[in-house]
C-alpha cells in the first residue's frame, strides 16, 4: 500500500524490501518521471501494534547502505482513536539544526505535505461498507 502514496505528487515509490518488525526495515526508491531513483531506508526500532512505531530514516544506495553524509532522522508515528477516525501524528527529529535545514532545502516540507495529500486521496477508496 505504501507504494500507492508514499512519495510527493509526480513521483512514484518502488519497494525493494519490506520487513515491518522491530529490527526490520523498509528499503524503497522514490522515482521521478524520467526514472531517476532516490533510495531511502527506514529501520524499525520499536513497534507497538495499533498504537505507534519508531524508526530511523536515511538516504541510501540501491543496495541499502545508508549514506552518512546525508541528513538522517528519527521518526515517531503515533495512531490515536478519534471518534470514528484515526489521528496520525508523525514527529521527525534531526540530529542538528544544520541537518534539518539541509532536509528542508531538499524539499522536506513540500514533499511531506504532498505525500500526505496523496494518502488523503487514497483513503476513501479503502473504506469498507
DSSP state, residue 67: -
The answer to whether the beta carbons of residues 55 and 44 sit under 8 Å apart is yes
pTM higher than the cut 0.75 = yes
What is the tens place of the pLDDT at every residue in 77-126? 999 999 888 899 999 999 999 999 999 999 999 999 999 999 989 988 88
Q: Is the pLDDT of residue 128 over 90?
A: no
Domain ranges of the chain: 2-124
The answer to whether the beta carbons of residues 13 and 29 sit under 8 Å apart is yes
What is the tens place of the pLDDT at every residue in 37-71? 999 999 999 999 999 999 999 999 999 999 999 99
Mean pLDDT of the chain: 94
Average pLDDT of 12-33? 97
Superfamily of domain 2-124: START domain (3.30.530.20)
Q: Is the pLDDT of residue 129 over 50?
A: no
Amino acid at each position: 500500500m505504501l507504494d500507492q502514496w508514499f512519495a510527493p505528487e509526480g513521483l512514484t515509490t518502488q519497494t525493494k524490501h519490506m520487513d515491518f518488525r522491530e529490527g526490520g526495515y523498509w528499503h524503497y526508491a522514490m522515482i521521478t518521471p524520467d526514472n531517476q531513483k532516490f533510495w531511502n531506508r527506514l529501520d524499525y526500532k520499536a513497534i507497538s501494534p495499533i498504537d505507534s512505531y519508531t524508526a530511523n530514516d536515511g538516504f541510501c544506495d540501491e543496495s541499502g547502505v545508508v549514506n552518512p553524509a546525508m541528513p538522517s532522522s528519527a521518526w515517531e508515528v503515533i495512531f490515536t482513536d478519534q471518534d470514528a477516525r484515526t489521528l496520525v501524528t508523525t514527529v521527525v527529529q534531526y540530529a542538528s539544526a544544520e541537518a534539518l535545514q539541509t532536509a528542508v532545502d531538499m524539499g522536506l516540507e513540500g514533499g511531506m505535505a504532498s505525500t500526505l495529500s496523496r494518502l488523503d486521496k487514497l483513503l476513501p477508496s479503502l473504506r469498507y461498507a
